[in-house]
């Protein structure tokens, strides 16, 4: 098949990034002497053959890795329960929770046979993340301080041992800096939590 002559170079090219779009496929095919109109047929064959996975409308990946699901919503970071898992702050294994500044449909979605969640976050609250190395590439995840703030902001009630783990590892200077960017409700809940664990003798 004519299709086969593109596959090796395609996989080599598109392993360079976690995700790609249809327009990237069209550009690739035109560069290699085909037409952009062939892109949908080409991708359909690649998906059926298991060499490419569809993530969401117009976005694909060559990786069978759930850590790819956030990249179609760039700029984004992984937070909440997924961040708690990454930082080993609780015992659960959480599926990805994508926080993005883009206007998207919020809620649960499915890709690569697994569920994940997407929520919009305001630009003013889009901070406090860094890149960690995953299995195949780096991806953004909230740091411990921002993870706690987001859990408060989105109304997550965590078990006592999780709060103890979090407060035991917080960078107080960073936390105070972050709190200056938060609303009064979030600040009040943070100090309420901190006081309760302090008075219970669970914080030094």
Q: Dump pLDDT digits (tens) for 166-194.
A: 999 999 999 999 999 999 999 999 999 99
Among residues 158, 29, 162, the alpha carbon closest in space to that of 87 is found at 162
For the chain, how many residues are written? 204
Residues 6+ apart with CB under 8 A from 135: 65, 67
Report the predicted TM-score, pTM, of the whole model to 2 decimal places. Answer: 0.90
In this prediction, residues 54-61 reach a mean pLDDT of 95
- Is pLDDT larger for residue 204 or for residue 103? 103
Q: Quick one: pLDDT at residue 198?
A: 66
Among residues 51, 26, 56, 27, the alpha carbon closest in space to that of 41 is found at 26
d(CA 182, CA 196) in angstroms, rounded, equals 20
Helix-strand-coil split of the chain, %, nearest 5: 45, 20, 35
pLDDT at 116 over 90: yes
Q: So where are the chain's domains?
A: 4-62, 67-199
Among residues 135, 133, 56, 64, the alpha carbon closest in space to that of 100 is found at 56
Average pLDDT of the chain, as a whole number? 92
């Amino acid at each position: 098949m004519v299709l086969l002559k593109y596959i090796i170079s395609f996989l080599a090219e598109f392993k360079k990034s976690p995700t790609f779009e249809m327009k990237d496929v069209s550009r690739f095919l035109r560069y290699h002497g085909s037409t952009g109109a062939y892109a949908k047929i080409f991708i359909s064959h690649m998906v059926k053959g298991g060499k490419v996975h569809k993530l969401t409308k117009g976005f694909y990946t060559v990786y069978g890795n759930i850590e790819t699901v956030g990249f179609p919503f760039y700029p984004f970071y992984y937070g909440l329960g997924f961040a708690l898992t990454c930082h080993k702050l609780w015992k659960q294994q959480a599926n990805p929770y994508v926080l993005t500044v883009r206007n998207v449909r919020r809620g649960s979605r499915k890709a690569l046979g697994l569920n994940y969640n997407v929520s919009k976050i305001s630009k003013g609250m889009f901070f406090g993340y860094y890149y960690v190395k995953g299995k195949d590439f780096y991806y953004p995840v909230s740091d411990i301080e921002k993870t706690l703030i987001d859990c408060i902001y989105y109304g997550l009630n965590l078990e006592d041992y999780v709060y103890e783990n979090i407060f035991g590892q917080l960078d107080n200077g960073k936390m105070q800096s972050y709190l200056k960017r938060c609303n009064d409700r979030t600040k009040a809940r943070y100090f309420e939590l901190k006081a309760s664990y302090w008075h219970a003798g669970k914080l030094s």
